[in-house]
């Protein structure tokens, strides 16, 4: 679990860095698909990751409104705050947590039991999916996207099991 979250955090930080070379207008410009702009996507990724991990722990959640975060600096600061909240939980993850149950209320009011392991994988896949969208939009603005490679990032030490 740690490996894929660490991968996401590294890639996300590279996207923030990548965004430094784009105008605020391009960062906020409405685009086809996803949540609609490059910066809103990064905001959404950080918000959703944090919200799920807070929720399964029974910690308070709230829906941050993007209108209050329409600059790269503000999204980065929010993300740093969120990450400090959730990183200890991710680093402390072990197999005993996989099948704990989180009961969520669906939009229609009905209840749904989810395993924590499902929720964590949902959150990490959610980020990779949205980053794929960023990569298309990067080409639209004539720039090379951040690499999506997981290999070559020195992540072997984060793998499950004992180090040799």
Nearer to a second copy (CB atom), residue 80 or residue 156? 156
Intra-chain end-to-end CA distance of the chain, in Å = 19
Applying CB under 8 A, does 122 fall inside the site for a second copy?
Answer: yes
Give whole-number Cα distances, 109 to 104, 106, 112, in Å: 9, 5, 10
Applying CB under 8 A, does 32 fall inside the site for a second copy?
Answer: yes
Q: How many CA atoms lie within 13 A of 84 on its CB side?
A: 5
Q: Quote the least distance from Cβ 44 to a second copy, whole Å.
A: 13
- Rounded Cα distance between 87 and 5, Å, is 9
Among the listed residues 25, 96, 103, 110, the single contact to a second copy using CB under 8 A: 96
Give the rounded distance of the alpha carbon of 105 from its chain centre.
22
Among the listed residues 17, 23, 33, 85, the single contact to a second copy using CB under 8 A: 33
- Rounded Cα distance between 116 and 121, Å, is 9
> Which residues inside 124-153 make contact with a second copy, applying CB under 8 A?
125-126, 128-133, 135-140, 145, 148-152
Residues contributing to the site for a second copy (CB under 8 A): 3-4, 7, 31-34, 95-96, 98-99, 112, 114-115, 117-119, 121-122, 125-126, 128-133, 135-140, 145, 148-152, 155-156, 159-164
């Amino acid at each position: 679990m740690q490996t894929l979250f660490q991968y996401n955090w590294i890639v996300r930080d590279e996207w923030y860095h990548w965004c430094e070379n784009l105008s605020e207008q391009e960062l906020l410009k409405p685009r086809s698909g996803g949540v609609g702009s490059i910066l809103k996507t990064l905001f959404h990724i950080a918000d959703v990751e944090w919200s799920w991990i807070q929720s399964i722990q029974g910690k308070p959640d709230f829906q941050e409104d993007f209108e209050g975060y329409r600059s790269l600096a503000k999204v980065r600061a929010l993300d740093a705050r969120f990450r400090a909240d959730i990183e200890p939980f991710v680093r402390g993850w072990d197999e005993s947590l996989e099948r704990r149950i989180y009961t969520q209320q669906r939009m229609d009011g009905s209840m749904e039991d989810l395993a924590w392991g499902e929720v964590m994988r949902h959150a990490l896949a959610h980020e990779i999916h949205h980053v794929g969208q960023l990569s298309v939009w990067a080409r639209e603005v004539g720039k090379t996207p951040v690499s999506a490679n997981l290999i070559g990032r020195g992540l072997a030490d984060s793998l499950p099991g004992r180090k040799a």
